[in-house]
Amino acid sequence: MTATQTFSQRLVNAVRRLPLDMTIVAPLLALIVLLIASSLASEYFLNTRNLTNILRQVSYTGIIAIGVTFVIIGGGIDLSVGSMVALVGVLLLFVLNAVGDPVLAVMVGMSAALVVGALFGLVNGLLVTRGRIAAFIATLATMSIYRSLALYLTDAGEVVSNNDIFPDIGGGYWLGIPIPVWAFFALALVGHVLLFHTPYGRHLCAVGSNEQVARYSGIRVRTVVLLSFIIAGVCVGLAAIMLSSRLNSISPSDAGVLYELDAIAAVVIGGTSLAGGRGSIWGTVIGALILGIINNMLNLLGVSPYLQGLVKGAVILIAVLMQYKRSQ
Amino acid sequence: MTDAPIRLHGLGKRFGPVTVLRDINLDIHPGEVLGILGENGAGKSTLLKLISGVYQPSVGQIEIDGRRYDRLDPIRARQLGIAMIPQEFNLVPTLSVYENVYLGQELRRKGWLNHKQMREETARVLASLDCDLDPRAPIAALSVAEKQMVEVARVLVNDARVVILDEPTTVLTDREVEVLFKVVRALQKRGVAVLFISHKLKEVKNLCQRLLILRDGSPVELCDTANLDEEAMARKMVGRELSQVYPDKGQPQTEVALSVAGLSVAGQIDDVSFDLRRGEILGLSGLVGSGRTEIAEAIMGLRQRSAGAIHMNGKACDIRSPSDAHQQGLAYLSEDRQGRGLVMNFNLIENMTLLSLQRYVTGLISHRRERERAEHYQQAFNIRAASLKSPVGQLSGGNQQKVYLAKLLDIEPSILMLDEPTRGIDVGTKREIYRLIRQLADEGRAVLVISSELEEIIGLCDRVLVVREGRIAAELSDAQINEEDIMLYAAGARERTPAGVHS
Amino acid sequence: MKLQKWLKQLAVLAAFSTVPFLALGEDDFHIGVSVPSADHGWTAGLLWWANKAADELSEKYSNVEFTVLAANSGTAQVGDVEDLMVRQIDALVILPTNPATLQQVIAEAYHEGIYTVVVDRELEEPTQDVFLAGDNPGMGEEAAKYMAEALGEEGQIVIIEGPSIPINAQRVNAFRDELARHPDMEILDSQSGEWNPQTSLNVMEDMLARYPNIDGVWAGDDDALKGVYQAIREAGRDDIRVLVGGGGSKDVIGMIREGDYIVSGTVTYPPNMIASGMAVALHGLMGEHLGEMYHGVPSRLILAADLITVDNADEFYEPDAAY
């Protein structure tokens, strides 16, 4: 008995020592339970190819969810990310098809996507900080505007890339793992460091928690909030690169539809409070993985397409209820 | 049985392994005012929450009208006639007085709201409290004291038999306190028992018939108020002899640290000028709303200045934001600790380093150095917390205030402006904070203390400025620092003449 | 913590309840079907037919199993196809939401040797064994011919078209080309009703307000037709003599059978093409011929666009269908 106790104690201590916030333990447990249940439920689940598929499917919304995590921690919300994916993707392919040299085109196109994403994020941020419009309303408006621009620029038709090496980014592998997945995890690492190891992250939490305290503490509240929207925009740019290169095309009417909700769901499942002030990047990563695995399992098990939304909704509710219980 | 409708039998409460309250045996009689005293963290709030059903007792029972309950919930407690008036009011600002009074218990006629009857009843109850508030007035337009009256009225329409007042006077001016006392006595006459919690021993002495003193979760004294003087109350609370509350006065240097000339904020303060010297504690006194806080906030760049110049250590400074002020070595402690001072869900470390964060950055934040610094403050200030990683929201008011002070001190400011530095804090901690403030001054820093408590101003400050209607009404020093002089200037009964201070 | 326990129990339950489905032998065929999820009547019909065909065909051929997935967007459909490939399907029957979006992943499936049947929307780069579709230009052409005939070769008409995707363009262009051969037929206006009754209702209301005389309306889609029909009835207009739809929903066929006062014709664009696609995949996979054909399964199958009027409505009427 004592041996197991010390072992479990050691395990607990080891877990404590990990650079994890305690808030992500619940989603982590849920993820592990889900992994076990899934591998029991379907013989295909643990198939390497299935796992890489899940990771790749998750990475697009996951990358966006990381950006949205910053906005939500700062006390805001960004509903425009889905539409932004389409618009950035369209502009990216325009640039890509306009430049002759394929290597140069990819480099210019990718930089353009990141810059343009940052720019759209800046627009959202300015509306919220300078225009003093509630983030929900401001990004609801830009959600409509960005989608509309994407449709207008393309006459609602799909844009196809004529670049030979572009598809290798989103469709390629490195060490057996798809490149979008590398991008996703690298971004998570950068996001984690930014949030927990830099003054900016600390200030963002303070602003999201209590704007007045932040102001009295000499924090530039508006700049901090503005930056959170720009971060979200850059993440959208990265997601647009990965998505459009995987598909070698982008559909303005279809790309990124409902991504904002998937991203927010991932953030919430990951234990970040919608009220702002606290959050965890790894929690968001786990949240995105949970959503992706559920999606995959429902497909592998052949659950009626009409029921899949129900399961997803139930998982979100359970996640929020668990947070509520914990906070009591 | 009617003699004591509510009896507590061996009530206690544990949170995990920690016992926060034990062995409470108490009869509450109708028409009595029972004072509950104790330092922060002594278990006062826990006791109130047990009685009002917010917490469930771990041991013991609550007997009401001869029936024993193992546990109550807030709704059940309210039905049984127990009502609590919290420190922070639960009023809906967009609704009117009578709508708030009847919130959740609206009177109906044939299913429709009976506004007329609710208005009349509210007016009647308010009148019985000697309060001529219009039942139709919106809550947002009321003063703090008036809001408190609304809370009391809300309790009364419920026919409460026990009313719990949790530190009701902290947010009130002296005159408002008197009104509240009248209300409490009116309640008493109606046969309502009042549980009164306060840090102000004088108030307790004046108002209460009996006293329950708690220390570290245990009852140490239950007796008639007449048997104890204030000195003895404080001793019982703290459990040790309290030497002098205020430290000795200091020896201000001649060098001026902060010089304010002609400071104005449109509609709030007008032509405020003063010098603050190194090593000095300068008091800023005046009635609530006289513009004291506005002066400090204008200096910090939190309010738009319409005129005025600020010099620090002889140099002209253009302070446009708190971060400018911090860089110049000027720090401000807000009177609103929870709303403006600390991030409640941040832990101790994160709060303490929020201003000085840049000092811990070498590429990335060094969490180790942050932690070491916080440990230093925890020891130096004797901050009681389960862990440095607990959210400060879980700390008692006194410990929160120490964290707030540590936060300011971590930028090593040469000038400090402290707005109500001991609001809502128990005697023992107050004493520690006074000593700390004096020590800071003795180290050569300049300290401005804003306070509504005259006793504090008199006991602590080397020099006092009295503010009235946004202007400096008087500057007092040495023997002039007394209650009478300050009040006369603050209330406008005496004016300052250009030649100096005369009666 | 209680919730966590539930979660666990739920997971275990899910695990056990699915085990029996997974017993598949050597000579068995697994066919994956991927369609857009139901966002309008026609796609609802599509899913209904896909499920019906999956039931019927797997009952008839005991060695064939179907998995039907529906996705709410093109990118989600890419994920569905990836998931189907993990399940080691032998054939893929797909109606791509957006051909360009799905191009890449369909090509991957095809190059992996999965027997691929693309339905309805054609890929830019043909990577499939069979392409099966309705006759989009034919749909427009038949509708135009019928309208000219019904209006006696003379009249002013309005078009309520679909969303801006290629197949809509094919239909509308063919309609315009055919109508140009009837010199006294005039097109007043053409606006998109998104194949959606609500939008079409609004668009038609605007048209009715703008044009005092309209002789005929081509709704292009039977769902849109319902919105248009309502707008016309509410406006109380009696100048409109004919309202033609497209697709062949059971409701509209029902109206035609009962001799409605303006709805007298529609042109088929049958959602059961997905069911035929599944049957084609099954025979292709088994190396069989269709019927008495001397060739294997053809690589291109175009279903005729049939005009439905009161004369032949009975043979197209399927009372149980979802569309």
| Nearest CB to A171 within list C12, C22, C104 | C104
Residues 183-242 of A with CB under 8 A from B: 193, 196-199, 202-203, 205-206, 209-210, 212-220
Alpha helices in B208-321 (DSSP H): 230-238, 292-299
Asked if the domains at B6-238 and B252-329+413-498 fall in one CATH topology, the answer is yes
Q: How confident is the model at residue A327 (pLDDT cuts 50, 70, 90)?
A: low
List the one residue out of B475, B11, B480 whose CA is nearest residue B272. Answer: B475
- Per CB-CB distance under 8 Å, the chain C contacts of A40 are 11-12, 15
- Tell me if C1 is assigned to some domain: no
C141 and C254 part of one domain: yes
Q: Are A37 and C72 within 8 A, CB to CB? A: no
Distance from CA of A216 to the nearest CA of B (A): 6
The CATH class for the domain spanning B6-238 reads: alpha beta
pLDDT score, position B273: 94
Q: What is the C-alpha radius of gyration for chain B, rounded to an integer number of angstroms? A: 24
- Tell me if C77 is assigned to some domain: yes
Q: Flag whether the ipTM exceeds 0.90.
A: no
C219 and C277 part of one domain: no
Residues 244-303 of B with CB under 8 A from A: 302
C282: domain CATH number is 3.40.50.2300
C171 and C258 part of one domain: yes
pTM of the model: 0.78
C123 and C173 part of one domain: no
Average pLDDT for chain A: 89
Q: Which chain B residue shows the shortest CA-CA distance from A199? A: B357
Q: Which chain A residue shows the shortest CA-CA distance from C74? A: A254
- Tell me if C297 is assigned to some domain: no
pLDDT score, position C37: 85
What single string gives the DSSP state of each residue in C46-93? HHHHHHHHHHHHHHHSTTEEEEEEEESSHHHHHHHHHHHHHTT-SEEE
Cβ-Cβ contacts under 8 Å between A and C: the total is 131
Residue ranges per structural domain of chain B: 6-238, 252-329+413-498, 339-408
Q: Do chains A and C touch (3 or more CB pairs under 8 A)?
A: yes
| Nearest CB to A57 within list C73, C79, C99 | C79
Q: How many domains are there within chain C? A: 2
Residue B93, SS3 per DSSP = coil
Residue A182 and residue A174 in contact, taking contact as beta carbons nearer than 8 Å = yes
pLDDT score, position B79: 83
Specify which residues B150 forms β-bridges with.
none
Terminal Cα-to-Cα distance of chain C (whole angstroms): 46
Residue B37 and residue B233 in contact, taking contact as beta carbons nearer than 8 Å = yes
pLDDT score, position B453: 81
pLDDT score, position B503: 40
Q: Which chain A residue shows the shortest CA-CA distance from B354? A: A217
Residue A227 and residue A200 in contact, taking contact as beta carbons nearer than 8 Å = yes
One digit per residue, pLDDT tens: chain B, 503 residues? 346 678 899 999 887 667 788 899 989 988 899 999 887 667 888 888 889 888 889 899 998 888 888 888 888 888 888 888 877 677 888 888 988 888 877 888 888 888 888 888 888 888 877 778 888 888 888 877 788 888 888 888 877 889 998 888 777 777 778 888 888 888 888 888 999 988 778 888 888 999 999 887 888 888 888 888 887 887 787 766 555 778 888 888 889 999 999 999 998 899 999 999 999 999 999 877 788 999 999 999 999 999 999 999 889 999 999 999 999 999 999 998 988 999 999 999 999 999 999 999 988 999 999 999 999 999 999 998 888 998 898 888 889 999 999 999 999 999 999 999 988 787 788 889 999 999 999 999 999 999 988 888 988 999 999 998 899 999 998 888 888 888 888 877 776 644 444 44
Instruction: State mean pLDDT over A307-311.
Output: 84
Residue B451 and residue B420 in contact, taking contact as beta carbons nearer than 8 Å = yes
Site of tokens 């914990």: A326
- A135-154 vs A102-129: helix crossing angle, rounded to 10: 150
Q: Does residue C54 register a pLDDT over 90?
A: yes
Distance from CA of B285 to the nearest CA of A (A): 22
Q: How confident is the model at residue A8 (pLDDT cuts 50, 70, 90)?
A: low
C182 and C200 part of one domain: yes
- Tell me if C280 is assigned to some domain: yes
- Tell me if C304 is assigned to some domain: no
Q: Are A155 and C164 within 8 A, CB to CB? A: yes
Q: Do chains B and C touch (3 or more CB pairs under 8 A)?
A: no
Neighbours of A181 (CB within 10 A): 20
pLDDT score, position A23: 67
- Per CB-CB distance under 8 Å, the chain B contacts of A206 are 343, 346, 354
Average pLDDT for chain C: 87
Residue-range definition of the domain harbouring residue C92? 27-134+271-288
List the one residue out of B368, B329, B322, B375 whose CA is nearest residue B348. Answer: B375
pLDDT score, position B191: 86
C220 and C279 part of one domain: no
Q: Are A296 and C84 within 8 A, CB to CB? A: no
C261 and C157 part of one domain: yes
List the one residue out of B180, B186, B219, B185 whose CA is nearest residue B198. Answer: B180
How far apart, in whole angstroms, are the C-alpha atoms of residue B325 and residue B317?
Answer: 9
For residue C285, give Cα distances in angstroms to C62, C90, C129.
Answer: 15, 8, 10
C167 and C95 part of one domain: no
How far apart, in whole angstroms, are the C-alpha atoms of residue B153 and residue B160?
Answer: 10
- Tell me if C31 is assigned to some domain: yes
The domains found in chain A, sorted by start residue, are 22-327 (1.10.3470)
Residue C28, SS3 per DSSP = coil
- Tokens linked to B324: 């400018």
Site of tokens 């919608």: A274
| Nearest CB to B365 within list A197, A213, A278 | A197
From edge to edge, which strands make up the β-sheet containing C242-244? C185-192, C155-161, C216-218, C242-244, C263-267, C307-308
Q: Does residue C229 register a pLDDT over 90?
A: yes
Fold of B252-329+413-498: Rossmann fold (3.40.50)
C156 and C225 part of one domain: yes
Q: Are C47 and A36 within 8 A, CB to CB? A: no
How far apart, in whole angstroms, are the C-alpha atoms of residue A320 and residue B7?
Answer: 41
List the one residue out of B469, B466, B471, B460 whose CA is nearest residue B488. Answer: B466
Q: What are phi and psi of C161, to 5 degrees?
A: -95, -175
Q: What is the pLDDT of residues C234-252, one digit of tens each?
A: 888 889 999 999 988 888 9
Q: Does residue A183 register a pLDDT over 90?
A: yes
Amino acid at A53: N
Residue B3, SS3 per DSSP = coil
Residue B403 and residue B342 in contact, taking contact as beta carbons nearer than 8 Å = yes
% helix, strand, coil for chain B, step of 5:
35, 25, 35
pLDDT score, position B70: 87
